Amino acid sequence: MPATPSSDLLVITCASGKQATALLPLLSNWARLRLVAHSPSSASALRDSYPDAEVVTADLAIPADCHRVLLGATCVYHIGPSFHPNEAAIGTVGNPISPSKHNTEPLRQNMIEAALSLPKSHFRHFVYSSVLHSRLRKLMNHDCKRYVEEALTESSLPYTILQPTHFMDMFPIAKLQSSPDPEITYTSNWNPDIEFTFVALSDLAAAAKVVLEERERHFYASYELVGTDKLTYREISGIAGEIIGKKVRVEKRESEEATEALLGMLFAGNEGEIDNRTRDGAERLILYYNRRGLVGNKNILTWLIGREPMSWREWAEGKTDVERKKLVGV
């Protein structure tokens, strides 16, 4: 059965984050949305943007909060907070990172436990936004999602797992465009000659909408979501330069500095409160990307959204167009 957006209650976690910000405008046909923020300031911004939605604050590391946010839900779109020190262990019983060799106990995760406590006749779909290649154990923020995926697969809940690759929207094209200099420098956090595949947040949102609304057709599926062929940061900087009409020189940050830059981008203003385990995750990501990048295949996303995903050039042209219009006040 597909979803019934006129009456189903859809809960979205990390509703103030990048993924949900792209998804929410596509869900205007959903009459009942519960948006979960962590900070009061994000909750207030969500209330301003979505006055018809119910907005709640919660700490997903607290089991009681997860139960509270899922009360009465028909379905959930669960996004985990970036580099949260307890992302896998969010409510996991025991230590999932070093279970005993023969530990076959199913893992327990807050949001999954909370969904399992709801009446089966009422709760219909758990959609988990994971990451491409959650099997990569060297990447701590991928590895922890592997445990959540395992717990979900064994949970008996009707679920779908989305596995997006690297977001193209992290590239600061608007900043490069607004520089008055004809020749600018893009400083990459990792080796600019290593290949990545990217996905536009708008295409990830389009895929999420299809999965949420078609619902049963996607039960028990895991979808790798990739929008482009392989590209290096030097190549995308070149494309950006062509679009904004400037020469873009590419430099690479040293790893320690790159870790700080990444954390600064994700936790702007709260850098003083960053947990060491969050820092560990960011450091590993920088070192991994520096040598290996992140590469997948776009077939599944193309099938799911019924069209070619956005290319990096199309995304950049769209972004710069928006900035140009802002500058001339259109």
Ligand X SMILES: NC(=O)c1ccc[n+]([C@@H]2O[C@H](COP(=O)([O-])OP(=O)(O)OC[C@H]3O[C@@H](n4cnc5c(N)ncnc54)[C@H](OP(=O)(O)O)[C@@H]3O)[C@@H](O)[C@H]2O)c1
Residues engaged in binding ligand X (CB under 6 A): 14, 16-20, 37-39, 42, 58-61, 79-82, 84, 131, 141, 164, 166-167, 170, 266
Q: Which DSSP symbol is given to 309?
A: P
Q: Which residue is nearest to ligand X (CB)?
A: 17
Kindly give, in sequence order, each residue whose CB lies less than 8 Å from that of residue 317, ignoring residues fewer than 6 positions away.
243
**Residue placing its CB nearer to ligand X in the complex, 11 or 14:** 14
Q: CA–CA separation, 109 vs 93, rounded Å?
A: 8
**Residue placing its CB nearer to ligand X in the complex, 75 or 79:** 79
At its nearest, how many Å lie between ligand X and the CB of residue 41?
7
**Residue placing its CB nearer to ligand X in the complex, 40 or 51:** 40
At its nearest, how many Å lie between ligand X and the CB of residue 262?
10
Torsion angle of alpha carbons 275, 276, 282, 284, nearest 10°? -150
At its nearest, how many Å lie between ligand X and the CB of residue 47?
12
At its nearest, how many Å lie between ligand X and the CB of residue 43?
7
Q: Is 285 left (phi over 0), alpha (psi -120 to 50) or beta?
A: alpha
**Residue placing its CB nearer to ligand X in the complex, 131 or 304:** 131
Tell me the residue type at 8.
D
Q: Is 57 left (phi over 0), alpha (psi -120 to 50) or beta?
A: beta
At its nearest, how many Å lie between ligand X and the CB of residue 329?
28
Residue whose structure tokens are 């009446």: 119
At its nearest, how many Å lie between ligand X and the CB of residue 62?
8
Distance (Å) of CA 292 to CA 199, 223, 232, 245, 285 = 18, 22, 11, 30, 10
Q: CA–CA separation, 62 vs 325, rounded Å?
A: 43
**Residue placing its CB nearer to ligand X in the complex, 112 or 131:** 131
Q: Let me know the angle formed at the C-alpha of 300 by 297 and 306, rounded to the nearest 5 degrees.
A: 125
Tell me the residue type at 65.
D
**Residue placing its CB nearer to ligand X in the complex, 58 or 115:** 58
